[in-house]
């Protein structure tokens, strides 16, 4: 439900109840079988603009209507969830809001909706408390979200929720634009009260199946990393599953049985105080695996496997397309395990103190222990695949392990190149070298995730070269977008802009600037990253940004992304499977979604040029 970067006018709700009713009817009549799940942002924006034009309505209503359309798209998925598994997001409110600016009607409505939801069994949360909402979803307590808030608040909350694979419905409230003279700017005249109550009371019923249910796969990918699933799927000879010699022959199975009606499997992995040092490494590793992240890589593996297996009848799916065998699940987990291992090591190498909003592993347990935990995860990743040989077959396991090993080497080469450049006194860099580093650092993770899913579904022949090419174009474009996002001033960029320059990371932007600079500009750039430069970080960043704008660096980088997208789209056309082509197009749009604030960066660059 996130509104696109290219906004049309102001964010407005149609003031006429008749127009709102007319547009809601059009949304309800839409044939959603033609659209994938999750609904892509560009499709939602295009459909919204098209219908508004056909109905003779203002384009300023587009963002509001996108929410209406998306809510209709997810209606059946939300209805499939019982009330006690739904979460209602409401704006924070208190009685003081009724004292001025006409807030009494808003407060009364919010209290009424809260009362209705409580009576039905909803969980209720503040729409700004993302962390608490995320914890509930991660714990498996929430299967659907209904949001009632101002549109900007909904964008922030729903974006967080959707990344966890949860269907959403929402109703935008008028923005709180209170006038200075105390007039009532915060009215509910443009909100259809009865429609909101119908949304809250949406009856529980079974969902109609069909289409591309990527949302379910996103959720399933995350579920793999819950403690109980990790306990069941890890190789049995892992250190975490050693026999408890103090208890004779008691094994992990008996030690995780319910005690007093409670499952204590999760306690096995927790590291608190004076922990059992013999199990400590495994405990830290499994705790980190379940701690956070988007888990997008295992989703790619499951989705690419399902795309091909649904057409060829893959041998590792038990009863339905999404009911994966343990061998497939272990392979998908292994892709994330390798990623997590690299994060542990990268945080040390890059001197990053936090990961997922919490102290990094090396900050919690020290650098030596963190290095060892990363090494343990690497070994675990290989064992997850090799332990599934009885199910997957020796040839399949060997091919996947070979791809993993090759990816592991290339990732290390890319990270090594970045570190060597960072520690070198020379800061010369060509665009070709920067792109090569990106290809080594980012593309292998995408490639191995795709390849593993395809290989699990059967032999990968000539398409293997297209897998590598697509992963390279996608990975490099993704990294360039990250470079641009580093200069976007918005709420999603929690650190100071230009952090890559301050931390001495080799970026395409830096390489493009050096290539385009004249002698004096080149000299200035080098002085700004010199170790003996005494200017403040803010001052140096401002000067680098001005040079980037004047040299057209941001625009040039955006142009390279467009070329890479075109090349990736050409690769997609080479795959025979329609389901796989659909998946790859979806992934390309999700991975290469433009960051908030990018337009501003590019517009400034255009003006400077």
List, as one string, the DSSP characters of 333-394. HHHHHHHHHHHHHHHHHTT--EETTEE-HHHHH-HHHHHHHHHHHHHHHHHHHHTTHHHH-H
DSSP string, 310-335: HHHT-TTB-SSTT-B-HHHHHHHHHH
Provide the CATH topology of domain 389-608.
Answer: Farnesyl Diphosphate Synthase (1.10.600)
Measured between alpha carbons, how far is 331 from 320 in angstroms, rounded to an integer? Answer: 18
Q: Mind listing the pLDDT tens digit for each residue in 82-95?
A: 999 899 988 876 54
Compare 53 and 143 and report the one with higher pLDDT. 53
The predicted pLDDT at position 176 comes to: 55
Q: Which residue has the higher pLDDT, 336 or 101?
A: 336
Domain boundaries, the chain: 17-212, 213-388, 389-608
Least confident of 45-54, 109-118, 199-208: 199-208
Cα–Cα distance list, 395 to 121, 324, 418 (Å):
51, 20, 35
296-312 and 214-223 are packed helices; what angle lies between their axes, rounded to 10 degrees?
A: 120
Cis peptide before 150 (omega within 30 of 0): no
- DSSP track, 516-567: H--HHHHHHHHHHT-TT--S-HHHHHHHHHHHHHHTTHHHHHHHHHHHHHHH
Kindly tell me if the per-residue pLDDT of 390 is higher than 50: yes
Query: What's the pLDDT tens digit per position in 497-511?
Result: 888 888 889 999 999
Over pLDDT 70: what percentage of the chain?
A: 77
pLDDT tens, position by position, 177-226: 444 443 334 456 778 888 999 999 999 886 544 445 677 788 788 889 98
Sheet holding 123-126, edge to edge: 123-126, 86-90, 144-150, 168-173
Q: How far apart are CA 230 and CA 256, in angstroms?
A: 13
Q: What is the pLDDT of residue 209?
A: 44
Predicted TM-score (pTM) of the model is 0.74
């Amino acid at each position: 439900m996130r509104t696109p970067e290219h906004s049309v006018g102001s964010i407005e709700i149609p003031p006429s109840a008749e127009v709102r009713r007319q547009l809601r009817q059009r949304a309800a009549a839409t044939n959603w079988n033609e659209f994938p799940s999750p609904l892509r942002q560009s499709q939602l924006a295009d459909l919204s603009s098209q219908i508004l034009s056909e109905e003779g309505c203002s384009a300023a209503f587009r963002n509001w209507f996108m929410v209406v359309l998306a809510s209709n798209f997810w209606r059946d998925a939300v209805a499939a969830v019982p009330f006690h598994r739904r979460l209602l997001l409401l704006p924070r409110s208190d009685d003081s809001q009724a004292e001025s600016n006409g807030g009494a009607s808003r407060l009364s409505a919010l209290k009424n909706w809260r009362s209705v939801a409580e009576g039905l069994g909803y969980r209720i949360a503040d729409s700004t408390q993302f962390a608490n909402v995320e914890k509930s979803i991660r714990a498996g307590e929430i299967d659907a979200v209904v949001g009632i808030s101002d549109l900007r608040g909904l964008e922030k909350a729903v974006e967080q929720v959707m990344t966890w694979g949860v269907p959403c419905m929402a109703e935008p409230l008028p923005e709180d634009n209170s006038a200075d003279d105390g007039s009532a700017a915060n009215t509910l005249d443009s909100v259809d009260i009865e429609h909101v109550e119908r949304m809250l009371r949406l009856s529980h019923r079974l969902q109609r199946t069909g289409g591309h249910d990527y949302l379910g796969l996103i959720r399933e990918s995350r579920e793999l990393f819950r403690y109980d699933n990790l306990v069941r799927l890890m190789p049995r000879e892992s250190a975490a599953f050693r026999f408890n010699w103090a208890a004779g022959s008691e094994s992990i199975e008996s030690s995780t049985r319910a005690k007093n009606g409670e499952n204590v499997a999760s306690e096995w992995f927790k590291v608190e105080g004076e922990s059992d040092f013999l199990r400590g490494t495994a405990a830290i590793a499994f705790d980190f695996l379940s701690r956070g992240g988007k888990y997008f890589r295992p989703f790619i593996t499951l989705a690419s496997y399902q795309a091909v297996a649904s057409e060829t009848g893959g041998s590792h799916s038990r009863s339905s397309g999404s009911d994966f065998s343990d061998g497939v699940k272990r392979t998908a987990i292994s892709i994330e395990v390798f990623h997590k291992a690299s994060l542990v090591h990268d945080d040390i190498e890059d001197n990053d103190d936090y990961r997922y909003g919490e102290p990094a592993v090396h900050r919690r347990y020290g650098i030596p222990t963190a290095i060892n935990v990363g090494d343990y995860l690497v070994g675990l990743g290989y064992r997850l695949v090799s332990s599934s040989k009885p199910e997957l077959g020796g040839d399949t396991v060997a091919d996947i392990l070979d791809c993993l090993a090759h990816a592991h080497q290339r990732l290390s080469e890319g990270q090594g190149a970045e570190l060597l450049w960072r520690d070198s006194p020379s800061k010369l860099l060509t665009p070709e070298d920067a792109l090569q580093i990106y290809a080594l650092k980012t593309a292998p993770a995408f490639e191995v995730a795709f390849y593993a899913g395809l290989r699990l579904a059967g032999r990968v022949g000539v398409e293997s070269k297209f897998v590598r090419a697509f992963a390279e174009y996608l990975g490099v474009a993704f990294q360039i977008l990250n470079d641009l996002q580093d200069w976007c001033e918005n709420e999603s960029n929690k650190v100071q802009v230009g952090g890559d320059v301050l931390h001495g990371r080799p970026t395409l932007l830096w390489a493009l600037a050096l290539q385009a600079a004249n002698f004096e500009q080149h000299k200035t750039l080098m002085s700004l990253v010199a170790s003996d430069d005494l200017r403040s970080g803010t001052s140096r960043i401002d000067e680098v940004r001005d040079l980037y704008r004047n040299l057209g660096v941001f625009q040039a980088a955006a142009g390279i992304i467009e070329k890479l997208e075109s090349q990736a789209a050409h690769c997609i056309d080479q795959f025979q499977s329609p389901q796989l082509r659909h998946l790859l197009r979806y992934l390309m749009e999700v991975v290469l979604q433009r960051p908030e604030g990018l337009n501003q960066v590019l517009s400034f660059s255009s003006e400077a040029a």
